[in-house]
């Protein structure tokens, strides 16, 4: 089969493809698979009941039924949804935005595909722009999205050990300079894979640095405040004309609705919507309709603060306790401080095998995690630390997570030999 350079790039082996293949195998396998590798949110029964009730209300309303299933929506956003969301942010956080500042894509993954290719690649003068990641490791799903290869510039995080078995990454501002070729800065908050949360001050500083160069800061808020609010630090949603804020309905418990939200100045939303019309024609509407009245009433904030955040915080703390009890003292490890998101990031400091080999050994025992090296892309020089970490999703069935942790502990101990 003769395919283009585009086709070759997007069909080659990659971290996100490996993740989705593992997920597919787990779904179709007849064996017991301990799936700690993907980003599927937890099933929270009280939350499921809210979504079921909303779907029944939509099906009973002729206008909403038509919008949800039998009519194309716009390539920008559903006007009622965007109006409600803008009003909520203005009311709750003193922002000054309107529906024209809000775009919707069929999932935040495609949203970042569009954003990365708007702000990276060849310019008309032939010069190449790149996306700069100020805090590496960063989300594996970004790595292969730019159409042109080598479109990322990453900077190592500064590592600070914050406890006997805990550490945290920080942006190394002392060594952070934005090169001329940068077309945008990008960071996730909370950070996937580590659960790290940039402070309000760090976000402000990154925004100012980007603004001084006339480029935007792309801020991935898929797990953040105010919804789904899987964030255990006291931070505020931040927006200004230089920030492109991405949100999602997935971690609210609605991943199948494929609803990504982009908040930005109007010219960026217009550009995003134009490209979205070409690649997607229109957006899925169901997710927007499901949450619209909850946004209008403000109930979505209570759901996030009182139901979603406490659930995940409790699961994070319980899983950390499992790890501490399961791993042999001979294994020198650290867990990144859990500040948000649905993952734990474990740094094994003294294994004689790489994280990749640990991943393969665990996979043979039906435990699926993600190997850390996939999250270290765009670096100018190799970093040994990238071979020492794994990511696991703690949000699944608690008994399955506990069994998987026991197997991880066993294989880590074997990794000392």
Whole-angstrom distance, CA of residue 309 vs CA of residue 303 = 9
Whole-angstrom distance, CA of residue 416 vs CA of residue 405 = 17
Given a contact cutoff of 8 angstroms between Cβ atoms, the answer to whether 197 and 204 are in contact is: no
Question: 19-23, 161-165, 353-357, 366-370: lowest mean pLDDT where?
Answer: 19-23
Contacts of 394 (CB under 8 A, 6+ apart): 36, 315, 316, 319, 342, 343, 344, 401
Please check the confidence at residue 23 and state whether its pLDDT lies above 60.
no
Write down the pLDDT at residue 28. Answer: 52
Give the pTM: 0.92
Query: Residue 82 is encoded by which pair of tokens?
Result: 């965007």
If you average pLDDT over residues 44-55, what whole number do you get? 95
If you average pLDDT over residues 268-282, what whole number do you get? 91
Whole-angstrom distance, CA of residue 203 vs CA of residue 189 = 9
Whole-angstrom distance, CA of residue 194 vs CA of residue 343 = 6
pLDDT classification of 64: cutoffs 50, 70, 90: confident
Whole-angstrom distance, CA of residue 320 vs CA of residue 408 = 13
pLDDT classification of 4: cutoffs 50, 70, 90: confident
- In 3D, which of 76, 75, 98, 79 has the Cα closest to residue 87? 98
The CATH code belonging to domain 71-299 is 3.40.640.10
Q: Where are the domains of the chain?
A: 5-43+303-414, 71-299
Count other C-beta atoms under 10 Å from residue 135's C-beta.
Answer: 26
Please check the confidence at residue 368 and state whether its pLDDT lies above 80.
yes
The kind and range of the H/E element at 243 are strand 243-248
- In 3D, which of 274, 195, 203 has the Cα closest to residue 243? 203
- In 3D, which of 343, 340, 417, 354 has the Cα closest to residue 385? 354
- In 3D, which of 85, 96, 79, 101 has the Cα closest to residue 269? 101
- Taking every pair of C-alpha atoms in the chain, what is the biggest distance, in angstroms? 66
Whole-angstrom distance, CA of residue 355 vs CA of residue 363 = 12
Whether 71-299 and 5-43+303-414 are alike in CATH topology: the answer is no
> Comparing 97 with 64, which gets the higher pLDDT?
97
Would you put residue 41 in left (φ > 0), alpha (ψ -120 to 50) or beta? beta
Please check the confidence at residue 191 and state whether its pLDDT lies above 80.
yes
Whole-angstrom distance, CA of residue 77 vs CA of residue 261 = 9
Q: What 8-state DSSP symbol labels residue 357? A: H
Q: In what order do the strands lie in the sheet with 370-371?
A: 158-163, 166-170, 333-336, 343-348, 389-393, 370-371
Over the stretch 302-331, which tens digit does the pLDDT of each residue have? 999 999 999 999 999 999 999 999 999 999
- Cα distances from 236 to residues 170, 182, 197, 291, in angstroms, run 18, 27, 11, 21
The kind and range of the H/E element at 165 are none
Please check the confidence at residue 16 and state whether its pLDDT lies above 80.
no
The CATH code belonging to domain 5-43+303-414 is 3.90.1150.10
């Amino acid at each position: 089969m003769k395919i283009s350079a585009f086709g070759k790039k997007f069909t080659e082996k990659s971290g996100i493809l490996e993740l989705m293949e593992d997920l597919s195998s787990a779904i179709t396998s007849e064996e017991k698979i301990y799936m700690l590798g993907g980003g599927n949110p937890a099933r929270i029964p009280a939350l499921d009941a809210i979504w079921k009730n909303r779907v029944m209300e939509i099906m009973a309303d002729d206008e909403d039924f038509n919008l949800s299933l039998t009519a194309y929506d716009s390539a920008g956003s559903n006007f009622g949804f965007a109006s409600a969301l803008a009003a909520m942010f203005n009311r709750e956080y003193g922002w000054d935005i309107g529906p024209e500042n809000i775009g919707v894509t069929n999932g935040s993954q495609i949203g970042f595909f569009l954003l990365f290719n708007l702000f990276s690649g060849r310019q008309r003068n032939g010069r190449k722009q790149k996306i700069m990641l100020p805090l590496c490791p960063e989300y594996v799903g970004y790595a292969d999205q730019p159409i042109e290869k080598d479109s990322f510039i990453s900077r190592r995080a500064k590592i600070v050990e914050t406890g006997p078995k805990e550490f945290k990454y920080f942006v190394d501002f002392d060594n952070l300079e934005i090169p001329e070729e940068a077309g945008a800065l990008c960071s996730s908050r909370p950070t996937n894979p580590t659960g790290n949360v940039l402070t309000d001050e760090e976000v402000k500083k990154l925004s100012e640095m980007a603004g001084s160069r006339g480029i935007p800061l792309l801020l991935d808020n898929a797990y953040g405040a105010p919804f789904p609010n899987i964030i255990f630090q006291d931070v505020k949603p931040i927006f200004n004309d230089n920030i492109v804020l991405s949100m999602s309905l997935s971690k609210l418990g609605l991943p199948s609705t494929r609803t990504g939200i982009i908040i930005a100045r109007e010219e960026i939303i217009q550009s995003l919507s134009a490209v979205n019309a070409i690649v997607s024609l229109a957006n899925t509407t169901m997710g927007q309709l499901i949450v619209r009245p909850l946004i209008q009433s403000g109930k979505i904030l209570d759901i996030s603060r009182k139901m979603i955040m406490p659930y995940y915080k409790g699961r994070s703390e319980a899983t950390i306790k499992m790890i501490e009890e399961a791993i042999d003292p001979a294994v020198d490890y650290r867990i990144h401080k859990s500040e948000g998101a649905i993952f734990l990031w474990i740094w094994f400091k003294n294994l004689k095998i790489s994280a990749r080999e640990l991943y393969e050994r665990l996979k043979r025992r039906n435990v699926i995690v993600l190997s850390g090296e996939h999250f270290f892309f765009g670096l100018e020089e190799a970093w040994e630390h990238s071979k020492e970490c794994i990511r696991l999703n703690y949000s699944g069935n608690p008994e399955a997570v506990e069994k998987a942790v026991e197997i991880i502990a066993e294989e880590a101990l074997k990794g000392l030999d």
